[in-house]
Amino acid sequence: MTLNENGRSPGDVLSDLEARHAPDVPTHGGRTWAYVYDSGLPDLDLTMDAARSMYTAVNGLDPTVFSSIVGLENQVVGSVLDLTQAPPDAVGTFTSGGTESCMLAVKAARDARPGIARPNLVAPVTVHAAFVKGCEYFGLDIRLVPVDPVTFRADPEAMAAAMDESTVLVVCSAVSYAHGVCDPVPEIARTSAERGIPCHVDGCIGGWVLGWWRRIGLPVPEWDFAVDGVTSISVDLHKYAYASKGASTLLFRDAELRRASYFASADWPGYAMINTTMQSTKSAGPLAASWAAFEYLGADGYARLAQRTRAATDALVAGLPAIPGLRLLGSPDASLVAVASDDPRVDVFVVADEMRERGWYLQPQFAYVGLPRNLHLTVTAASLDNVEPLLSDLAESVAAARIAPSAEPAPELVEVARSLDPSTLTREEFAGLLAFAGLDPAAVVGGGLPMRMAGVNHLLEVMPPRLRERILAEFIGLLYTPVRD
């Protein structure tokens, strides 16, 4: 068996795990500018760890058995409703993350209009892919509408033109992940309301920041329940509420729409099943950790974190123009920043590699329907002390990228890549493509990836989206090859 014949001591187990974890990018310290959200407060992490541990074995499936989770969820959701200026009758659900919140919003919209043969969802092309996933899972068509090529915000008129009698949900972002800008929610929500269509605002990544910036007196766009026509909002807690991973909320203006997000089944011989989320059995640990974070920080703590995040964002945005070869995309409305190149000699994919070698992680983003390739930076409260060091290393990385050999794939490789049919791609073709890109397929198994990914990113970028999806699926399948004895 792959399983050890004999158990190991706790010390050996944890030592082994620590060694395995060592190559990962750091989750604390402010040098990873995507995926992680660092408050910079060690005591907060310790408090959440203890709360999560206390509730790890508590099953959120049945609140009549584990009744304490009802009070925890009601208090957490109520706090988020307050932050989003929700009306008194508004309700919500604690979920496992932004994708689950978004997918449940799609399900609720579909099930609230059961008579439509083929429902559709209208959203800007910058909407999070979770909504594409929700449409695929729940059988909706998705109509992606181009955004303004300068501001990267949704076009209300184009959104309105895409709506019809089969549209069950309109989605806009506050803010978009790719460019950190807020769509014109009032205009879009007004149009959807006039047509009787629910409007969901995806505030998964920006909602908490925008809510707190408003509360501390900073100007922010209109985006929440104070806007007429907004019927539901998603707000993650494991982002800027600095809760542990696995924490989000889905909020509804009224209980009837929330009811459509539930799943119930009594037509079987076991217990009557009622699920408020896509999960049935689930640990209550993330909920307890979120509650603990709210209690530990309080309003004054979140206000301080919001101020630090704003100061870090302002410092980053002010410092970027001083680096020749880079330009800011759009005008960030929250704490997400996208940076592109304005010098053909500066390849941002190479810049990302150079930064990785200097101990930073910036997230490469591909060009898409006329929107330029760029680097994404998620600014957090822990970023404030790291803005100047980051800008210094970023300037060095841009200078290094300017004189680096081209990372763009050879034309013959691009031709081969574009000629592949995603519907008939074989494992042999995929292995050959990896080899062309300089990757050893055997080394990829188990996570053997190169530090410099610019060439791979360029190759992925030139592929049509369906082929890219298939390539990524094959890649993930290869990466997750189970260890067997």
Q: Is 331 in the same domain as 252?
A: no
Q: Is residue 252 part of a domain?
A: yes
Domain final residue pick, 243, 266, 294: 294
Q: Is residue 199 part of a domain?
A: yes
3-state SS class at 210 = helix
Contacts of residue 437, Cβ cutoff 8 Å, sequence gap at least 6: 409, 413, 455, 456, 459
97 φ, ψ (degrees, to nearest 5)? 165, 175
pLDDT (tens place) for every residue of the chain, 485 residues total? 789 999 999 999 999 999 999 999 999 999 999 999 999 999 999 999 999 999 999 999 999 999 999 999 999 999 999 999 999 999 999 999 999 999 999 999 999 999 999 999 999 999 999 999 999 999 999 999 999 999 999 999 999 999 999 999 999 999 999 999 999 999 999 999 999 999 999 999 999 999 999 999 999 999 999 999 999 999 999 999 999 999 999 999 999 999 999 999 999 999 889 999 999 999 999 999 999 999 999 999 999 999 999 999 999 999 999 999 999 999 999 999 999 999 999 999 999 999 999 999 999 999 999 999 999 999 999 999 999 999 999 999 999 999 999 999 888 888 888 888 888 888 788 777 777 666 677 777 766 677 788 988 998 899 889 988 888 888 888 888 888 77
Domain count, the chain: 3
CATH of residue 132: 3.40.640.10
Q: Is 447 in the same domain as 309?
A: no
Q: How buried is residue 313: exposed, middle or buried, by Cβ count under 10 Å (0-12/13-18/19+)? A: buried
Q: How many CA atoms lie within 13 A of 22 on its CB side?
A: 7
Domain final residue pick, 261, 294, 327: 294
Q: Is 111 in the same domain as 155?
A: yes
Q: Is residue 340 part of a domain?
A: yes
What radius of gyration, in Å, describes the C-alpha atoms of the chain? Answer: 23
Identify any residues that bridge with 250 across adjacent strands, giving them in sequence order.
93, 234
**CA 200 → CA 83, 101, 169, 233, 371, distances in Å?**
16, 11, 7, 6, 24
Identify any residues that bridge with 230 across adjacent strands, giving them in sequence order.
199
CATH of residue 315: 3.90.1150.10
Q: Which domain holds residue 430?
A: 411-479
Classify residue 246 as left (phi > 0), alpha (psi -120 to 50) or beta: left
Give the H/E segment covering residue 144.
strand 141-145
Q: Is 208 in the same domain as 226?
A: yes
Distance CA 75, CA 291 (A): 8
Identify any residues that bridge with 143 across adjacent strands, giving them in sequence order.
122
Tell me the DSSP string of 158-203. HHHHH--TTEEEEEEESS-TTT-----HHHHHHHHHHTT--EEEE-
Classify residue 420 as left (phi > 0), alpha (psi -120 to 50) or beta: beta
